[in-house]
Amino acid sequence: MKVAVIAGSGLSAVAERIEGERRPWTHPGLDRPPAPGHKMEIVEGTLGGVPALGFAGRLHFYQGYSMAEVTEPVAQAHDWGAEVLFVTNATGSLRAELAAGEIALIRDHINLMGDNPLRGTSEFVDLSEAYDAELRGAARATAERMGLRLPEVVYVGMSGPSFETPAEVRMLRMLGGDVAGMSTVPEVVMARRLGMKVLGVTVVANRAGAPATAEDVLIASEARATEVADLLEAVAAGLA
C-alpha cells in the first residue's frame, strides 16, 4: 500500500512528517508566487511505516492554474503507485457549532467552483463515495484514541480567492454545507477517476462571513498541524 498526502494552507507539517528525501516542487507552468502557507516541496519516504509521497502545498484554481495543473499532483501520485490519497485543507465554518480551530473529517463535498477536472472528456465518475467510508472509520477510531473530537462535515468548494459574504454563507448552509474552502474538490474528483481511495481532513480556521485575513487562516491551521499529522500518520500505520 502506498499513500499520497497533499498538505493545505499552514499544514506543511503534515507532509513534513514523512521521513524521506525532500526536493523543490517544480512545474513547467509554476510561474506564480505560491499561495500563503504553501512551501511547494515534495517529499518521498514513509509515513507510519507506509511508502508515502507528500506535497507540502498545492496549486489553486484561484491562482489562475487550470484544473489539469491543479490535479497534476494526484496524477503524479497515481503514476508513483499511490492507492490512497490524504487531502488536507483549511476552511471557513458555515455553522455556529463548528468553532475556529476545530479539526474535522470531510464526508462529502459540494462543487461550486464552476469547473471540473474532467471537463472536455466523456468520463462519468461515480462520486457517491468520494470520501472512503473505511478510511473515515479508521480516522474516527484513531481520533477517539487520541482524545480528539473529529466531527464529520460537508465541504463546499468555492473558486476564491475572496472570502464568502454573509449572504453566501446563508446560501451555503441552506445547500447543506458545513465548511467552505478553495481547493480539494478537483483533487478528489481526479483521485476517484484514477481509482484512488480518499481521506479528507480540514482545520476549521475562521468563521465564514465574518472579517478574516489569509494570516488568520494560517495561524489557526498551523496551530493544529501537528495533531493533523499525528492523526494521518496513525491512519497510515493501520494500512501497513
Domains of the chain: 3-237 (3.40.50.1580)
Q: Which residues contact 196 (CB under 8 A, 6 or more apart)?
A: 4, 74, 77, 78, 82, 83, 84, 85
Cα gap 211→197, rounded to integer Å: 36
3-state class (DSSP) for residue 106: strand
> What value does the mean pLDDT take over residues 127-139?
98
Which pLDDT score is estimated for 176? 98
What integer pLDDT is reported at residue 194 of this predicted model?
98
Q: How far apart are CA 140 and CA 156, in angstroms?
A: 21
Query: What's the pLDDT tens digit per position in 77-90?
Result: 999 999 999 999 99
- pLDDT tens across 1-54, in order? 999 999 999 899 999 999 998 998 876 666 777 777 678 899 999 999 999 999
CB 166 within 8 A of CB 209: yes
Separation CA 62–CA 60 (nearest Å): 5
Query: What is the pLDDT at residue 29?
Result: 66
Query: Which residues lie closer than 8 Å to 165 by C-beta, 6 or more apart?
Result: 209
Pairwise CA distance, residues 196 & 173, whole Å = 29
Question: pLDDT tens for residues 191-238?
Answer: 999 999 999 999 999 999 999 998 989 899 999 999 999 999 999 999
Tell me what pLDDT residue 25 has. Answer: 80
Residues of 46-80 as b/e, b for ≥16 C-beta within 10 angstroms? bbbebbbbbbbbbbbbbbebebebbbbbbeebbee
Q: Percent helix, strand and coil across the chain, each rounded to 5?
A: 30, 30, 40
- Three cell numbers written together for 208: 465564514
Q: Which residue has the cell 465518475?
A: 125
The whole-model pTM stands at: 0.96
Interatomic CA distance for residues 137 and 152, integer angstroms: 11
Measured between alpha carbons, how far is 152 from 132 in angstroms, rounded to an integer? 13
For 134-191, the pLDDT digits (tens) are: 999 999 999 999 999 999 999 999 999 999 999 999 999 999 999 999 999 999 999 9
Would you state the pLDDT for residue 129? 97
**Residue ranges in the chain assigned as alpha helix (H):** 12-16, 67-70, 72-80, 133-146, 166-174, 185-193, 214-237
- Judged by DSSP in three states, 54 sits in strand
Q: What is the distance between the alpha carbons of residues 33 and 60, in angstroms, rounded to a whole number? A: 11
